[in-house]
Structure 1
Amino acid sequence: MKDENNNDVNDEDVKKQTPTATRHIILIRHGQYNLNGETDEEKYLTDLGRKQADLTGGRLKELDFPYTRLVSSTMTRAIETCDLIHKFLPDLTVERNDLLREGAPIPPEPPVGHWRPEVYQFHRDGQRIEAAFRQFIHRATPEQKTDSYEIIVCHANVIRYFVCRALQFPPDGWLRLSLAHASLTWITVRPSGRVSLRCYGDSGFMEPNKVTYS
């Protein structure tokens, strides 16, 4: 076998450099929060939001996957949601990541509703959210020998953008997707790099009167 420079390549070396594990990324939107808050600290979970996070934690425990990671945005509502989920999965170490903070990833097409951030927000947030996508949504490295199940607690805009990018859909369509609080979105990345969406915005484990959107 030859490489791109026409040099001989050993078949065993190729096998060592080929991924064999599948990555499962479970994206959780934070629970319902105080919409009247002006600062991040004031946008804490409501009582219902805390209940939603508990239900999500219970659902993840019930699924009983061999979880390998639990990471959240550094915003208050995501941290609180993550910490409530962590109570159901105490063996995991909690990580925080600033790249996962809520923002305006890309100008939506068509523009929807009253949400019209200033153009500078897309320049400020877009690169960061794209960097988050590249950091978290990718196939396994060759060194990873077993399948992984990672939980990421973040925000609706981030998740919707991730889904569009991962499925190679036009990313400017992200705002057309709706997402319930504390819902589960499950992306699978095969060793080949092929991506599939196992579920999007699953909230079927909650009673109907506990499902909310904003």
Structure 2
Amino acid sequence: MRKLTSFVCGTGAGFAAYYLQRLRDPQAAVHNSWTNSDKPVDPWALWDTNWDCREPRALVRPLRNSQPEEENRYNAELEKAKAKKARHIILVRHGEYLDVGDSDDTHHLTDRGRKQAEFTGKRLSELGIKWDKIVASTMVRAQETSDIILKQIEFEKEKVVNCAFLREGAPIPPQPPVGHWKPEASQFLRDGSRIEAAFRRYFHRAYPDQEKESYTLIVGHGNVIRYFVCRALQFPAEGWLRISINHASITWLTISPSGNVSIKYLGDSGFMPPELLTNRIPRDVKNVV
């Protein structure tokens, strides 16, 4: 019994001495966080803190010397350039629509698509969000979805921003490639630059003078939303087509004051009854209104 007690005490003391030494080692202390490991991080997985070109240290004139006055100047400017509140960006895909006719003008929501938009509007109303801005793609199906949602939430239609940059398109050649969908290279070049411009327009940390958390609703399209998610989370943008989101679903991204981005919902449509869950264009036109 005495030997067992001595063994336990000795082992405990040994572990205590080991961890005490690890804590005293600054380099080892970094690895005490559960978010770190001893395995080297692949370069592509490293977070770019200046992804939105609004990292305070990139905006402030660098220190010219180590004098107290210069350090005070630098610290004051750095603090002034920092965001203080979070931005919430809620993305809604349009409802189901019919791809008939030769132009976007004929691509109206189906009855099911209108019902989907109604459920989404009710869900957004239940969340009790006070919207700072609502932006909608200029395509018919997004405009109709936006109009239906606006009937459920408190926001003046005249204040909605209509943005052509958000129109559906082919953002970037997907990986892995798919055989059933092969846009021309020129389409990727044309659409990709536009959709990337839309991302840069709407995704960034708050301005330093923003005094409260803000909420922006964007009503758009599946390809655009999926690309936005990959870009915002700094995942390989080529993987956008691996994500599937339902019609009129809700995707919620939050940009913290530090510039870190997290996702709260991805294609959430659990608030709809099962018979309304769709994600593809209906092919049986005869049975769809």
Q: TM-score range by the shorter chain?
A: over 0.9
Q: 1:82 and 2:146 equivalent?
A: yes
Q: Which aligned runs of 4 or more in structure 1 are off by greater than 6 angstroms? A: none
Determine if contact 1:112/1:175 at 8 Å carries over to the other structure.
no
Bigger proportion of residues as strand: 1
**TM-score, length basis structure 1:** 0.95
Report the alpha carbon displacement of residue 141 of structure 1 after superposing the two structures with TM: 0.7
Distance 1:22 1:55, change over 3 A: same
1:124-144 deviation per Cα after TM superposition (whole angstroms, max 9, x unaligned) = 100000000000111101021
How far is the alpha carbon of 1:61 from its aligned partner? 0.3
Q: AA paired with 2:196?
A: E
Count, aligned residues: 213
1:120 to 175, 183, 186: 186
The whole-number CA distance in structure 2 between the counterparts of 1:146 and 1:153 is: 23
The whole-number CA distance in structure 2 between the counterparts of 1:186 and 1:205 is 15
Give the superposition deviation at 1:3: 4.2
Aligned amino acid, residue 64 of structure 1 = G
Corresponding residue of 2:283: none
The CA deviation at 1:95 is 1.1
Greater RCO structure (CA 8 Å; 6+ sep)? 1
| 1:23-79 Cα shifts (integer Å, max 9, x gaps) | 000000000001233310111101110110011000000000121111100000000
2:220 corresponding residue in structure 1: 154
Structure with the higher fraction of residues in helix conformation: 2
Could you tell me which residue of structure 1 aligns to residue 90 of structure 2?
26
CA deviation after TM superposition for structure 1 residue 12, in Å: 3.9
Aligned residue in 1 for 2:10: none
Look at both structures and tell me which one has the larger radius of gyration over its CA atoms. Answer: 2
Structure 2 residue corresponding to 1:205, chosen from 262, 265, 271: 271
Deviation at 1:176, TM superposition (A): 0.9
Q: 1:113 to 1:185 in 2, by over 3 A?
A: farther
Percent identity, please.
54
Q: Are the counterparts in 2 of residues 25 and 149 from structure 1 also a CA contact under 8 Å?
A: yes
Aligned to 1:167: 233
Residue among 61, 64, 67 paired with 2:128: 64
Shift of 1:88: 1.4
| Amino acid across the alignment from 2:90 | I
SS at match of 1:188: strand
Secondary structure of 1:15's aligned partner: helix
Corresponding letter in the other structure for 1:125: D
Query: Which amino acid is 2:171 matched to?
Result: P
